[in-house]
């Protein structure tokens, strides 16, 4: 992060920038049918960092500026990626505007994260796994084939060239299940899935 900021600050054609860093911690659990009972197939844990850069460049016309966004990869030289973003920004032409030196109002604290997930993602995974097992015992007109359950915490940091920073959290739940039905000699398979941002929005029976 500091290296990227230093590179941006040395470029005279760059009048301002925004960097958003997203740190993701995701647990994935896969289920299948084993001897007519649901069972855990495999678990995965993913930690990932995404960096998105947005730059603003000066134009010959002082009333205009250029802008560009770029996904930054730490696997490649940062200077080359900044060069690419600058070239793209210089190809654009929009009305000039400035980043605010300060915020006159407080940024609303939106409830985008589930506190239980932020505190202990593994415990939530175990609790939902038990709910999946219980739900699988209910008699249905369909046959369960497989399922996936993803839980993730997302930590965001936004840094502006004027020194302002903002931090926020978000949680996500994704679940899907594949079922099949048998009508005579014909077998149909279908997928059910659900997205949620908190446990209160998530229902295992849906």
pLDDT for 146 beyond 70: yes
pLDDT for the residue 206: 57
Which range among 21-30, 67-76, 195-204 shows the weakest confidence by mean pLDDT? 195-204
pLDDT for the residue 107: 67
The better pLDDT of the pair 35, 105 is held by: 35
How far is residue 83 from each of residues 4, 77, 78, 143, measured CA to CA in Å?
12, 10, 9, 55
pLDDT grade for 105, boundaries at 50, 70 and 90 = low
**In angstroms, rounded to a whole number, what is the distance separating the alpha carbons of residues 170 and 197?**
7
**In angstroms, rounded to a whole number, what is the distance separating the alpha carbons of residues 163 and 25?**
27
Instruction: Find residue 39's DSSP bridge partners.
Output: 32
pLDDT for 205 beyond 80: no
Most confident by average pLDDT, 27-36, 56-65, 125-134: 56-65
Cβ-based neighbour number of residue 155 at 10 Å: 16
pLDDT grade for 139, boundaries at 50, 70 and 90 = confident
| Percentage of the chain modeled with pLDDT above 70 | 94
The better pLDDT of the pair 132, 199 is held by: 199
Q: What is the pLDDT of residues 80-90, one digit of tens each?
A: 999 999 999 99
């Amino acid at each position: 992060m500091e290296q990227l900021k230093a590179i941006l600050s040395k470029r005279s054609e760059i009048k301002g920038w925004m960097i958003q860093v997203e740190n993701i911690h995701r647990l994935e659990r896969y289920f299948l049918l084993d001897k007519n009972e649901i069972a855990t197939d495999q678990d995965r844990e993913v930690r990932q960092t995404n960096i998105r850069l947005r730059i603003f460049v000066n134009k010959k016309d002082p009333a205009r500026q250029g802008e560009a966004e770029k996904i930054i990869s730490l696997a490649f030289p940062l200077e080359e990626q900044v060069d690419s973003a600058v070239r793209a920004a210089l190809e654009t032409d929009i009305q000039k505007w400035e980043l605010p030196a300060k915020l006159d109002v407080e940024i609303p604290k939106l409830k985008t994260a589930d506190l239980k997930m932020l505190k202990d993602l593994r415990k939530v995974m175990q609790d939902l796994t038990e709910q999946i097992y219980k739900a699988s015992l209910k008699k249905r007109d369909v046959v369960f084939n497989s399922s996936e359950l993803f839980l993730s915490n997302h930590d965001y940091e936004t840094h502006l060239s004027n020194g302002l920073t903002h931090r926020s959290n978000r949680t996500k739940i994704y679940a899907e299940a594949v079922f099949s039905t048998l009508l005579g000699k014909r077998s149909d398979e279908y997928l059910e899935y659900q997205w949620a941002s908190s446990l209160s929005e998530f229902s295992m029976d849906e």
